[in-house]
Amino acid sequence: MARRITALKVQKRNPNRINVYLDGEFAFGLARVVAAWLSIGQELDDEKVAAMQQEDTREVAYQSALRLLGVRPRTAAEICRRLERQGFTQPVMDDVIARLTESGLVNDRQFAQTWVENRSTFRPRSHRLLALELKRMGVAEEWIDGALEDGAEDAALAYQAAIKHARRLSGLDWMNFRTRLSGFLARRGFGYDVIQPVVRQVWQETHLENDSRHDITEDEE
């Protein structure tokens, strides 16, 4: 049975939503973009009401995703996990991801590349650890592999991390320096075969400076 729209009122707490009144009574709320085509006097049947409410649910989910992206870039999987916790169904989440992907707001391939670049610049860590982080965020393996192939090798990343951290270790003797820096690099995911030469190199660059008193002997290895 069709009912007539008798009023359209902007919600006081959320001006982006419209309250719809049918036959003089409040019926439901809609996102402003969904209600844009409605007008007073227009008749709506149950099928049309149901369709609008479904569209409204998709719009609410989409706006929620946009707020998440306003904090930082996200992967498609991250957005879906958050929307799922909010109670949205899989078809709704699929629709949201499709819209975001089409508009370029979600791009897992670009996300992986940017993540690797930022980590490598500000908090260098091993390829193994970078891959683990991206997998946890739901990035496909092919995008992870591509991002890592385009980035620096583990040895270069370990050196970047070590040279920054070494500033905190000034004044230590070789044995303590090696122990502390090696542990730091291990926590960043680097293997012993990478750590050992990097620690030696950083020690030599930051401590030796032609001071023979700090020479590393085989016994100290």
pLDDT in tens, 1-58: 789 999 999 999 999 999 999 999 999 999 999 999 999 999 999 999 999 999 999 9
Which SS3 state, helix, strand or coil, does residue 5 take?
A: strand
pLDDT digits 0-9 by tens, 172-219: 999 999 999 999 999 999 999 999 999 999 999 987 654 544 455 544
Under 8 Å between Cβ of 60 and 31: yes
> Torsion angle, CA of 155/161/165/171, rounded to 10 degrees?
20
Assessment of whether the complete model's pTM goes beyond 0.75: yes
Pick the CATH number of 107-152 from 2.40.30, 1.25.40, 1.10.10, 2.40.128: 1.10.10
Domain chopping of the chain, boundaries: 1-44, 55-105, 107-152, 154-221
CATH number of this structure's domain 154-221: 1.10.10
CATH number of this structure's domain 55-105: 1.10.10
Domains 107-152 and 154-221 share a fold: yes
- Helix residue ranges, H only, the chain: 32-35, 46-71, 76-85, 90-102, 108-122, 127-136, 141-150, 154-165, 174-187, 192-203
pLDDT: which is higher, 213 or 80? 80
